[in-house]
Structure 1
Amino acid sequence: MSVIIVGGGMTGATLALAISHLTKGQLAVHLVEAVAPHAKNHPGFDSRAIALAQGTCQQLSRIGIWQAIADCATAIKTVHVSDRGHAGFVTLDAHDYRIDALGQVVELHDVGLRLFRLLQDAPGVTLHCPARVASFSRSEDGVSVALDNGTVLDGQLLVAADGSRSALGTQCGVEWRQQPYGQVAVIANVSTAAEHHGRAFERFTQHGPLAMLPMSDGRCSLVWCHPQDKAEEVKAWSDERFCTELQKAFGWRLGRITHAGKRAVYPLSLTTASQSVSHRVALVGNAAQTLPSYCRTRI
């Protein structure tokens, strides 16, 4: 028996390693990924950062993954929640819950490199990268997948971990429900004059939430929501204007915002598959449900 996973991003790579660990390599896994993790244009392992809840880190530790990525993580010791224009705020502190951290922030590019190193040595896992699915067929007893390099894989289950609006899911007749939020999320890494000391911030503003996550080298990962009709204006801001506007919205809890890196702007919507299971096929991760950026920051 074997499982074929298409998509080697966070979801697909983690699933392959979990199966390998839990079955001690007795269940064969074929992982198909189109782009090597060290590539600058990898859609899943780019410069973005995500926050992993402490419970997620514990689960990853149980299957031998966290130990490989812990050295590139930044602990969240405190979460500060505020509402712009109001004096009150809420602070969540890891010490109050008698834990070392509320979560960990990891940069996807660093995680991707470490996951693929684990995959290369994982019992029962065969990595096909770079490779794409050319075609696939299903029968009563199994599934056959033809890759663009001529390799043919046979298995009992095909897992689509190929991202939002999965191409494999579409070929299986899956339809998508999309709920637009009328907002965009601006993603960037920023530097501040004051150290973050492991503090994460969530600030509610007139137009939507603003989140700052602690990162390595004293930087913060920013997710800043704006109305859809302001997207082009925000894209056109100079670095100086961007930092000035961000300072107004965020405040001075980290001192002056001194630098903003390359910005990316994503429309916010909730996309859900009409079904996550079909005959011999299962959709996982963003292929099954794609959440807005400010939700994905905390997994």
Structure 2
Amino acid sequence: MLLNHLNCAFLGPKGTFSEIAAISYFGNDNNFYPQKTITEVFEVVENNKNFYGIVPIENSIEGSVSTVMDLLFEISDVVIVGECIVPIRHFLLSNETLSLEKVKVLYSHQQAINQCNKFIKKNLKSVEIIFTASTTNACEIISNIPNSAAIASKRAIQLYNLKVLASDIQDSNNNYTRFLVIKNKNNEVTFVKDLENEVNRYKTSIICAPKYNKAGVLCDILEIFKRENINLTRIESRPTKKQLGEYLFYIDLEGYIHNPKIECALKDIKNICSFFKFLGSYPLKREMNSTEEVIKN
């Protein structure tokens, strides 16, 4: 999905994996606006009908991004219109040429630190770790701190003129992050659908909460999807934050919202739930390859 001259907000500053996902998904010839937090990305999309947003929803190693899940629930005017999968490669970077044993302080986003845990334990045993708002925020910080390093993307090397102390330091080479493309629902993208053949090409996302907290309530929901032969690609629970033991269910399923089977299933699920929110129907994931190479410096 390559569009020209659109506006897209992402978790900045430049060089984050969110920026890589945004430019890879939309193409270079657009307007990209870095935000300080994921919450600010949502606020930009909520308050501007002509803006898209890119936010990380889950990582193959670290799991779901709780902030994004909470904001999808809390902000009513934002819907999902797309997704992409970005391979994650981490680099140990510094403003100076250092041996690993001379690195005293390590900066990065908490998820990046966690994704490089094995490397850190083996090679940076006595390092002080400081979490930052983003991986490239760490690159900005280390510019004036001696014997410091940051974990960030390959793109950050040129953006911040940094030295590479170690490459591909992520714990697993199968490290991927799924990003969501979000939009104000009052200016939602409309896709042309072939409802007979779309089941494996589109995804629908919802949030629901059962009316009653009782044994088997999740089975009741799953049974509805089974009855209609609808495949679920993800299901996860989050606390409602109202009462201990009450949960919301985040569900991704294959197919488009106006498929008759999906319409029937969601209608029945609404009837057994006290809360139901449609998050969006959108094309299935596209995996980005050689992500940094498609970005113009």
Q: More strand by proportion, 1 or 2?
A: 1
Please indicate, yes or no, whether the TM-score normalized by the shorter chain is above 0.5: no
What is the TM-score of this pair, normalised by structure 2? Answer: 0.34
What is the TM-score of this pair, normalised by structure 1? Answer: 0.34
